[in-house]
Amino acid sequence: MAETIGAENRYENLMKHIGQYSLLGLLLVSGILFADTETETPPAESGAQLSLDDLRTFTDVFNQVRNNFVEETDDHTLLHAAIRGMLSELDPHSAYLEPDAFREMDNSSRGRYSGIGVEVAIRNQAIKVVFVMSGGAADKAGIVAGDTITSINGKDIRGQNLQTAIGDLRGTAGTTVTISVMHESGEVSSHELTRDFVKVSSVFSRPVDKDYGYFQITHFTRKSADELLEQIEYMQEHHEGPLKGIVLDLRNNPGGVLGPAITIADGFLDSGLIVYTKGRSANQLEYTAKPGQWLQGVPMVVLVDRSSASASEVLAGALQDHGRALIIGEKTFGKGSVQSVLNLRNGAGIRLTTSRYYTPSGRSIQAEGIRPDVEVETVEVVENEDKRKREADLEGHLNGETAPGAGGTISSEVSAADDYMMYQALILLKGASILSNSGS
């Protein structure tokens, strides 16, 4: 009770001194003091609490901007700018989410969003279309991968904030957006597109070299683990005999929802720690695997690159530490921080970094990344056009005879020029299979 009275007295004294400041300053002061009275945590260390001078500085800045900025700006806009600035100064991943952005993030985690049906990337200061979803508005308009979006709703986006421009492509289902695109031929076309909900698959698969399975996870949604298991079971059912190995491709996977990545790691492990977190909160999290595997005993390679981040790194790190998979590719991005999404009463939310990820062996992912077991750089391979002749090219050459049971060479339908890292993964899988058979 004494502490509450003390807080009220401090509040009354402050009000006497800051009458010349805006109502915003008063609200901030009362909010800070009442927050102190409602918590049972010990007092903050000296210098951690805001002083009256700190609050005066804030309201000084607020009023200077309000009164002197070249364009008139309302208090609501300034307050939200202050909130965004506070969060953006913490780290690259904490952010204030306006209600529309908050709903969009929730839709994305569910594997759907309202838009024109394209995946885009910022390349060389331009918005490039990298994938067009079948049946979406962009697909119906004839937009294809490789096109460059040059304007949105009549506004030239060159020199603008491209992340904001990408956000303008999304919107409420049923609304329209007009875009101009430059095709690779140099031709420019304009299209009025109607946004709609697009269901985004996150897992793609295909058999390669007859006895091997390829599974790509582009990002993690709440459905990713179910999608992967469904495609593994389908491939097993339609394959003659057991698979000899699988490739799990996490290249260019920026992460997403953590839960499915943990479920997938659990699917390939029988027991042991998958990942744990550390932060300021006493309630740290540990995730462990349960008995049972999806493809027990089947050799596995995981492909990663410098764009594999967050949940991708958690999955790769767990499989690497347990020796369940060989990690091939480049050192990963190194985003090992946990973002908690917190609801606000106005329908908005904040994404706040609250802890760090650690692999089962205790390695920190943050700013360190996952170092692959076999480092393979992303390179462009040019087919060899060597015109020199071999014996078989000579006229009248003798035919060779192969002894029964003699082994052949290791080859793949995936060429090094098509996908060098994938080619290396398959060669390693096949080499491991040969060594295993020869030793049995």
Tens-digit pLDDT profile for residues 225-251: 999 999 999 999 998 888 999 999 999
pLDDT given for residue 98 in this prediction: 86
371/10 Cα distance (integer angstroms): 54
Look over the chain and give the mean of its residue pLDDT values, rounded to a whole number: 82
- Are 156 and 296 contained in the same domain? no
Residue 391 has pLDDT above 60, yes or no: yes
What's the pLDDT band for 25 if we cut at 50, 70, 90? very low
Q: Which amino acid is at 398?
A: L
User: Active-site residues: which are they?
Assistant: 310, 321, 335
Residue 36 has pLDDT above 60, yes or no: no
Q: Is residue 99 part of a domain?
A: no
Q: What is the CATH number of the domain that holds 168?
A: 2.30.42.10
- Are 273 and 328 contained in the same domain? yes
117/173 Cα distance (integer angstroms): 12
What's the pLDDT band for 318 if we cut at 50, 70, 90? very high
Q: Is residue 209 part of a domain?
A: yes
107/113 Cα distance (integer angstroms): 5
In terms of phi and psi (left: phi > 0; alpha: psi -120 to 50; beta: otherwise), the region of 209 is: left
Using the 3D structure, point to which of 199, 221, 249 is the last residue of a domain: 199
Q: Contact at 8 Å (CB) between 412 and 209?
A: yes
Q: Is residue 434 part of a domain?
A: no
pLDDT given for residue 374 in this prediction: 95
**pLDDT, mean of residues 151-157:** 90
Q: Is residue 26 part of a domain?
A: yes
pLDDT given for residue 321 in this prediction: 98
Of 21-35, 129-143, 297-311, which gets the smallest average pLDDT? 21-35
- Are 295 and 152 contained in the same domain? no
Which residues 6+ apart lie within 8 Å of 47 measured at CB?
A: none
pLDDT given for residue 41 in this prediction: 36
Top mean-pLDDT range of 15-19, 238-242, 356-360, 420-424: 356-360
- Are 160 and 117 contained in the same domain? yes
Q: Contact at 8 Å (CB) between 50 and 59?
A: no
Residue range 61-100, pLDDT digits in tens: 999 999 999 999 999 999 999 999 999 999 999 999 888 7
**pLDDT, mean of residues 112-122:** 79
- Are 350 and 262 contained in the same domain? yes
- Are 258 and 329 contained in the same domain? yes
Residue range 337-390, pLDDT digits in tens: 988 888 999 889 999 999 999 999 999 999 999 999 999 987 766 666 666 767
- Are 235 and 335 contained in the same domain? yes
What's the pLDDT band for 135 if we cut at 50, 70, 90? confident
How much of the chain, in percent, has pLDDT values that exceed 90?
52
412/422 Cα distance (integer angstroms): 10
Q: Is residue 394 part of a domain?
A: no
- Are 256 and 314 contained in the same domain? yes
**pLDDT, mean of residues 94-116:** 77
- Are 227 and 332 contained in the same domain? yes
Q: Is residue 180 part of a domain?
A: yes
Of 8-17, 125-134, 276-285, which gets the smallest average pLDDT? 8-17
Q: Is residue 439 part of a domain?
A: no
**Which carries the bigger pLDDT value, residue 316 or residue 338?**
316
Residue 49 has pLDDT above 50, yes or no: yes
Residue 292 has pLDDT above 50, yes or no: yes
Instruction: Note down the domain range covering 190.
Output: 112-199
Residue 29 has pLDDT above 70, yes or no: no
- Are 139 and 161 contained in the same domain? yes
pLDDT given for residue 46 in this prediction: 46
Using the 3D structure, point to which of 199, 228, 254 is the last residue of a domain: 199
pLDDT given for residue 380 in this prediction: 67
Q: Is residue 404 part of a domain?
A: no
- Are 165 and 253 contained in the same domain? no
- Are 269 and 145 contained in the same domain? no
Query: What does DSSP say about strands 273-279 and 349-358: parallel, antiparallel, or unpaired?
Result: antiparallel
Residues of 282-311 as b/e, b for ≥16 C-beta within 10 angstroms?
A: eeeeebebeeeebbeebbbbbbbbbebbbb
Which has the closest alpha carbon to 374: 304, 297, 308, 276?
304
114/107 Cα distance (integer angstroms): 8
Residue 196 has pLDDT above 70, yes or no: yes
- Domains in the chain, number: 3
172/334 Cα distance (integer angstroms): 34
Which has the closest alpha carbon to 193: 265, 249, 142, 266?
142
Helices (H), 39-192: 52-68, 75-88, 99-109, 137-141, 162-169
Top mean-pLDDT range of 4-8, 12-16, 201-205, 380-384: 201-205
pLDDT given for residue 381 in this prediction: 64
**pLDDT, mean of residues 204-215:** 92
Using the 3D structure, point to which of 343, 375, 407 is the last residue of a domain: 375
Instruction: Compute the residue count for the chain.
Output: 440
pLDDT given for residue 392 in this prediction: 67
